[in-house]
Amino acid sequence: MYVAVSTDCFPDIQMPDVVEAFVDLEFTTVEIALREDGTALSPSRIGTDLDKALNLARRSHRLEVCSYDVHIDAPGDEYYEQFEAVCRLGKASKVVTLTVPSGELGTPFNEEVERLQKLVDLAEGEGVRVAMKSQIGRLSEDPDTVKVLCDNVIGLGLTLDPSHYHCGPHAGKSLDKIMPFVFHVHLRDSKKDQLQVRVGQGEIEYGKFVTQLSRAGYSHALSIQMPPLPGFDQRGELRKLRLLLETLL
């Protein structure tokens, strides 16, 4: 396992400048969030100019890219067209894992299985893989539902964010059943009533969590996914969590 950091940790800094900020903080690996922000790495623009998107992604060359966190706003067939373009970007940039949100609560189970299977099939065609993100307010907020989805969608994995199982409506449930499906990991510090708090003031047992992952054979990124907290030094927070995680590895 190794420590990585998401570009979402500095949402106001665009590529490639955000890479320099992470280099200054002594990170070696980055996760790139693909959002509709008007840049070449917006999902709607990747398909129309793949070379430009690839060039921008590769300008993180001072850091290894471990994954793409994919946020597509388009509806219907356009959603799948944009996702397929992201898969081509993953293949071209040698990034294997794509994180996507699961369906919102209330989405019919069979409909979600069909959607996720289509994403997995598109990804496999380009040699990449799909992981749905643990997230309060979506089907993936319940570890039991995650297991059933992964059992029914062949090839689907999980981007595990333990904070969403620590303070969400299914807090306290064992995560052992979903550990075999973990493709990627997002980390922050949390309390039972707060999804994110300052590093060291929360209740996430990082050592126990790393041990669980190790027992399941996980050997990939521990990606810090920690948006800035108002009034606090984000660089200092990122540095603290990086050092803490590195002592555990």
The string of pLDDT tens digits covering residues 46-80 is 999 999 999 888 876 689 999 999 999 999 999 99
pLDDT of residue 39: 85
pLDDT for res 57: 87
CA angle at residue 217 from 88 to 220, to 5 degrees?
40
Q: How far apart are CA 95 and CA 70, in angstroms?
A: 13
- Nearest-angstrom CA–CA distance, 116 and 132: 9
Residue scoring higher pLDDT (16 or 33): 33
Give the tokens for residue 28: 């070696």
State mean pLDDT over 106-120: 97
Give residues with Cβ within 8 angstroms of 64, minimum separation 6: 28, 29, 30
Q: Rounded to two decimals, what is the model's pTM? A: 0.95
User: Cα 136–100–184 angle (5° rounding)?
Assistant: 85
CA dihedral 110, 115, 121, 127 (to 10 degrees): -130
At residue 61, the pLDDT reads 67
pLDDT tens readout for residues 164-195: 999 989 998 999 999 999 999 999 999 999 99
- Do residues 122 and 129 make contact, with C-beta atoms less than 8 angstroms apart? no
Helix or strand holding residue 57 (H, E): helix 50-58
Kindly list the structural domains of the chain, giving each domain's residue range(s) and its CATH number in brackets, ordered by start: 2-248 (3.20.20.150)
Q: What is the distance between the alpha carbons of residues 133 and 150, in angstroms, rounded to a whole number?
A: 12
Quote the Cα angle for 16-133-83, to 5°.
Answer: 60
Question: In sequence order, which residues have a C-beta less than 8 Å from that of residue 181 and are 6 or more positions away?
Answer: 146, 147, 150, 156, 157, 158
Which amino acid does the sequence have at 23?
V
Parallel, antiparallel, or unpaired: how do β-strands 182-187 and 189-191 relate?
unpaired
- Looking at every residue in the chain, the average pLDDT score rounds to 95
Nearest to 146 by CA among 129, 128, 164: 164
- What residues form DSSP beta bridges with 223? 4, 186
Q: Are 32 and 8 in contact (CB under 8 A)?
A: no
Structure tokens at 212: 């669980």
